[in-house]
Chain A
Amino acid sequence: MIEVEKLNFSYGKRRILKDVSFSVGNGEVMSILGPNGVGKTTLMKCMCNIHKPSSGHVSVNGKSVLSLSGKELAKNIAFVPQSMPRSRTLVYDSVLMGRKPYINIGVTENDLDITSKAIRDLNLENLAFRYIDQISGGEFQKVQIARAMAQESAVMMLDEPTNNMDVCNQHLTMRIASEMVRKTDMCAIMTMHDINLSLYYSDTLMFMKDGEIVAFGGKDVVTPDLIWDIYGMEVDVIKHRDIPLIVPRETVTGLAAKRHMKTHRHPHDAADHILNDPEC
């Protein structure tokens, strides 16, 4: 279980995180959601001391972790960054790296067993002896999750784990991650952009805006009002197989027009803009 208490972080004079407090229980998956730049990634980095928080406490299973050495902290929290350079390293060695906090002189048989198990559990056997600069984005992400599993920490933090993945790989990665978390009774925190994907696989959702928590709770926390408040987008919340999902209320072009209307006074201009805007 991880508990975060009144975490604050400033970059220069700008306050990025404002008194953030929450907790995630063992075997739970929590998603942190919110628009770009609200402090989701910063929050994660503060929780594992990559950024030094200006104040606040983080404890894992009752033990305060921010004062621990890097090595000891790594035994409690495994962090998977959003993007990583890829080198000519074997997939196996990359997963074995999760054992780094435990390795003193050399790799033990136990380290190899744990690494091999993590590779087996994530179905990476066929890739184990390929180099990580030769595998696909989805496979690479699975390697990172395997590495975090091999780290055997109580908390796993994934920063946008489904970035740059096709829809199938997104679901596959999320399913594997959430299954592993429940099986091993660790807890997982992920920053996400896809609300529906989070609704499918997480137990708790946390919405952030301007460095503060706006909403925190189970799946029912997602309401049209909340989405309007955070993203400025009109949605309906529908139920599919008992899982709430959000659906945009208007077509994308209509929404885009609305957004552009805010900046362009004349609707005519806005329409031109949309036609020329590749994102619309």
Chain B
Amino acid sequence: MSEQETVENRNIDDISVNDYKNITEGYLKKIRFKTIFLVSLGILCIFLILFTLRLGAANLTYRDIIRTLIYRDDPVNVWYIFEWRIPRIVAAILCGAALGVSGVVMQGTLRNPMASPYTLGISGAAAFGAAIGMMFFSGAAMESMTVENPYVVTISAFLFSMVSVLVILALIKVIDASPETIVLAGIAVGAIFTAGLSFLQYFADEATLMSIVFWQFGSLSKITNQGIIILALVLAVCSIYFFYKRWDYNAMESGDEMAKGLGVNPDRTRVVGLILSALITSIAVSFMGIIGFIGLVAPHMVKRIIGNDFRYTLVGSMLLGATLMLLADLFASHLFPYLVGTTLPVGIVTSLIGGPVFISILIGRRKVNV
């Protein structure tokens, strides 16, 4: 039967169950694909964890690692694995997941593909805050490139990143900005903090200047165990909230009016979503410095592959963020030293790779739209 005949013969009243069950079947297939994608990302992540766990100066075999994990018999290996490798891997996973999930929530609630912790000025404000901490609250060390009092710096970075969020929220309230234009406000706020940072750098003494500059290179080795615990707890709580609100975010993809028509309060959802994602980001950035592009690229890549559905993109962006961070760390602290002889801060790698990846996503997107 030709397609035309099928359409003509259809009668709305003639309800044949198979007719729509086929559509449901098709949808369940799509859902299965999305689930498989998430599981694959998870497996890739685990594979990278196991791979990275074995790499490094001490030549450990998997047998050594498993034995150490279970029996904890060799103190050197225990120190090496528990104090050095695992915290770094956990930091990479948490940081990637934090940036990924904040990026996807910011992009969704602001309906702007350019929204990310970096473009909203949160990272810039954190860098300014860190510099303030180092210069005025004796956070910087006398010896170059380290931070003497990391908590002062971290707290100061966190406070200033929250200030940037408050400024953006105030702007939303005062100028009644549409969600699409909030990113512009974020860019403006970020620019002010960047200018402030340059100002501080200009007047800083040499040692402090080096500390400030080094702090900005996001690095996984900065975070302390307490930092990891704080980030993990906040990330867990916020992610559960985001997941609980997944349908609200989905509704907001069709605009505020549509969302209101479906019983969602878009303004409240947006403000709470922004505050929580900014909170996660500012904690991550305060502990680890600026790690660019993960928050922008991970959600885009996930949406490219499985489409826009917060039921899947939230988890997907976290997993892909973590995977990208593990890959970037693999490159920065294992592959690059192997080739050149020195390690790189991971923030430089993410920005170096993230830019071109983002451009290629944009080109791919254009092709699809044509």
- Residues of chain A at the chain B interface (Cβ within 8 Å): 45, 48-50, 69-74, 77-81, 83-85, 87-90, 92-94, 97-98, 100-101, 103, 112-113, 115-117, 119-121, 123, 125, 128-129, 131, 133-134, 151, 179-180, 183
Kindly identify which residue among B10, B24, B261, B303 contacts A79, using a CB–CB cutoff of 8 Å: B261
Kindly identify which residue among B15, B19, B247, B308 contacts A89, using a CB–CB cutoff of 8 Å: B308
Residues from chain B with a CB closer than 8 A to the CB of A69 are 263
Q: Does B20 contact A (CB under 8 A)?
A: yes
CB <8 Å contact, A119 and B20: yes
Q: Given A89-B309, A97-B262, A101-B262, verify A120-B254 contact (CB < 8 Å).
A: no
Q: Does B257 contact A (CB under 8 A)?
A: yes
Q: Given A92-B27, A100-B247, verify A79-B264 contact (CB < 8 Å).
A: no
Residues from chain B with a CB closer than 8 A to the CB of A70 are 260, 262-265
Chain B residues 13 to 27 lying within 8 A of chain A, measured CB to CB, are 13, 15, 19-24, 26-27
**Residue in B closest to A70 when the chains form the complex, CB atoms:** B263
Can you list 8 A-B contacts with CB-CB less than 8 angstroms, sorted by A residue number? A50-B257, A70-B262, A80-B258, A84-B258, A90-B309, A100-B247, A112-B27, A116-B27
CB <8 Å contact, B254 and A84: yes
Q: What's the minimum C-beta distance from B92 to chain A, rounded to whole angstroms?
A: 28
CB <8 Å contact, A48 and B20: no
Kindly identify which residue among A81, A112, A134, A183 contacts B257, using a CB–CB cutoff of 8 Å: A81
Overall SS of chain A's interface: helix
**Which among B253, B304, B368 has the highest number of chain A CB atoms within 10 Å?**
B253
Residues from chain B with a CB closer than 8 A to the CB of A88 are 303-304, 307-308
**Residue in A closest to B254 when the chains form the complex, CB atoms:** A84
CA distance A119 to B19 in the complex (A): 10
CB <8 Å contact, B30 and A92: yes
Q: What's the minimum C-beta distance from B16 to chain A, rounded to whole angstroms?
A: 9
Q: Does B12 contact A (CB under 8 A)?
A: yes
CB <8 Å contact, A100 and B251: yes
CA distance A261 to B322 in the complex (A): 68
**A79-B261, A85-B255, A94-B254 known, 8 other contacts, Cβ within 8 Å:** A48-B260, A90-B30, A92-B27, A97-B250, A97-B251, A97-B254, A103-B247, A128-B23
CA distance A70 to B264 in the complex (A): 7
Q: Does B59 contact A (CB under 8 A)?
A: no
Instruction: Write the B17-59 contact mask toward A (1 if CB under 8 angstroms, else 0).
Output: 0011111101110100000000000000000000000000000
**Residue in B closest to A78 when the chains form the complex, CB atoms:** B261
Q: Does B111 contact A (CB under 8 A)?
A: yes
CA distance A78 to B260 in the complex (A): 10
Q: What's the minimum C-beta distance from A111 to chain B, rounded to whole angstroms?
A: 10
CA distance A103 to B251 in the complex (A): 12
Residues from chain A with a CB closer than 8 A to the CB of B307 are 88-90, 93, 131
Residues from chain B with a CB closer than 8 A to the CB of A129 are 26-27, 30
Residues from chain A with a CB closer than 8 A to the CB of B368 are 134
Q: What's the minimum C-beta distance from B216 to chain A, rounded to whole angstroms?
A: 33
Q: Does B363 contact A (CB under 8 A)?
A: no
Residues from chain A with a CB closer than 8 A to the CB of B30 are 90, 92, 129
Residues from chain A with a CB closer than 8 A to the CB of B309 are 89-90, 93
Q: What's the minimum C-beta distance from A160 to chain B, rounded to whole angstroms?
A: 13
CB <8 Å contact, B23 and A85: no
Q: Given A97-B262, A117-B20, verify A81-B12 contact (CB < 8 Å).
A: no
**Residue in B closest to A79 when the chains form the complex, CB atoms:** B261
Residues from chain A with a CB closer than 8 A to the CB of B13 are 183
**Residue in A closest to B264 when the chains form the complex, CB atoms:** A70
CB <8 Å contact, B369 and A45: no
Q: What's the minimum C-beta distance from B119 to chain A, rounded to whole angstroms?
A: 18
CA distance A131 to B247 in the complex (A): 18
Q: Does B7 contact A (CB under 8 A)?
A: yes
